[in-house]
Structure 1
Amino acid sequence: MKAYLLLCCVLLTACSSLPPAISDPPHYDLSYSEASQNLTKYKNAPVRWGGVIVDVANEENRSLIQILSYPLSSQGRPLTDQPHQGRFVISSPEFLDPAVYEKDTQITVAGMLAGEIDRTVDKKVLHLPLLSLTALHLWPDYTNNPMYGSYGTYNAYYGYPGWGGAFYRPIFFPPPR
């Protein structure tokens, strides 16, 4: 019996698709607003932030992604229905393809607060927090997926797809009123 329980635990932990740095926040989860008020105090602090990609710039030795910051859910996904907190930039020594990391994609990153960087938005120069990247996760877009309804969220009326609810009623019809 213990062997079956151990096997189940191993299989369930293998199903997690998030990197551990994304799924588990740092011991002290430093918020964006705290860090942006005093960047020198929190230099080299581990952070887990997320938001929506605004811009990708590839330089000779690094790639920079500018992100519009949003608060995170308990799973680490950006809560884009909340007000945004500002912008930050992540730096990676690897090439990050703008075709993969495209604008308006939700992303969660983990890294170390490396200081600040100046970025020009329109004609205004902003001093933004800079993170040296440890891990990142791009979130899938469910807005046009009929399995998740027309509102981009899971439609609980039909039950879990593959657990019986989707087999008894077509999932692309709206619920009766």
Structure 2
Amino acid sequence: MYKQISMMLLALLVSSCATVPDKIQLPEGTPLVSYEDAASQADSKIGQKARWGGVIAKIENKAEQTVLEVVFYALRSNGRPTSGDESIGRFRVYVGGFMDPMVYKVGRSMTFTGDFSGVEEGLVGEHKYVFPTLQASAYYLWKDIQQVDVTSVHVWPYDYWSGWYPRPYHRNIYIRSSGNSLPAGAATKPQPVKLERSKN
């Protein structure tokens, strides 16, 4: 039990400290336009480099390129989008070539690098929407992960002189999926599954 918990925690620690994937790395010091600045100062930001990510809300293959509509989420230090119940907006990405919708499914997390190309009008349902737009030079599709939260650990200290230590009387562990099978444009918070160690 302890070994499994240690391995899961170690895997999470390693993943959290991981570097940005090679596909979406940019030269150090490259100035990047933020989503907020692109949306509010579009004319002055056209042509600047960007690295944005989020959750796929829509994918459409055209004759020579694919258009993705993405719900924007801020990026972690390793380039992976965060997730939550709210987003500050959406953006469109134009990618050259064909992207299979069965692979790049609605609800999957992606990160893109490319050039900001301005804003364009469109619809979200029947609502008029202005989308900041990227011409993608590279992209990365993130794999599903599980997060492990050790919310309550009670361990008695080891007695060096007697060589005796009692067992921890209980341990609560919550395992939740990252939730990539999401409805379009939403990231929901999964319900935790509680595993409790026996007191005996």
TM-score, normalisation: structure 1: 0.70
1-structure distance, mates of 2:81, 2:55? 8
2-structure distance, mates of 1:105, 1:25? 28
Q: Which has the larger radius of gyration?
A: 2
Number of equivalent positions: 143
- Distance verdict in 2 for CA 1:60–1:21, change over 3 Å: same
CA RMSD of aligned residues (A): 3.0
2-structure distance, mates of 1:24, 1:70? 22
Check whether the contact 2:145–2:177 (CA below 8 A) recurs between aligned residues: yes
Check whether the contact 2:21–2:78 (CA below 8 A) recurs between aligned residues: no
> What does 1:112-127 align with in structure 2 at a 5 Å threshold?
112-127=115-130
- Distance verdict in 2 for CA 1:64–1:128, change over 3 Å: same
| Residue in structure 2 matching 1:102, options 105, 109, 125 | 105
| Residue in structure 1 matched with residue 73 of structure 2 by the alignment | 70
Unaligned residue ranges in structure 2 (runs of 5+): 1-17, 149-173, 179-193
Q: Which structure dedicates a bigger proportion of its chain to helix? A: 1
| Residue in structure 1 matched with residue 9 of structure 2 by the alignment | none
SS for the counterpart of 2:195 is coil
> Structure 1 residue 26: deviation in Å?
6.1
Tell me the amino acid that sits aligned with residue 63 of structure 2: E
Tell me the amino acid that sits aligned with residue 109 of structure 2: Q
- Distance verdict in 2 for CA 1:144–1:117, change over 3 Å: same
| Residue in structure 1 matched with residue 168 of structure 2 by the alignment | none
Check whether the contact 2:67–2:93 (CA below 8 A) recurs between aligned residues: yes
| Residue in structure 2 matched with residue 176 of structure 1 by the alignment | 197
| Residue in structure 2 matched with residue 3 of structure 1 by the alignment | none
Unaligned residue ranges in structure 1 (runs of 5+): 1-14, 154-172
| Residue in structure 2 matching 1:150, options 175, 179, 192 | 175
TM-score, normalisation: structure 2: 0.62
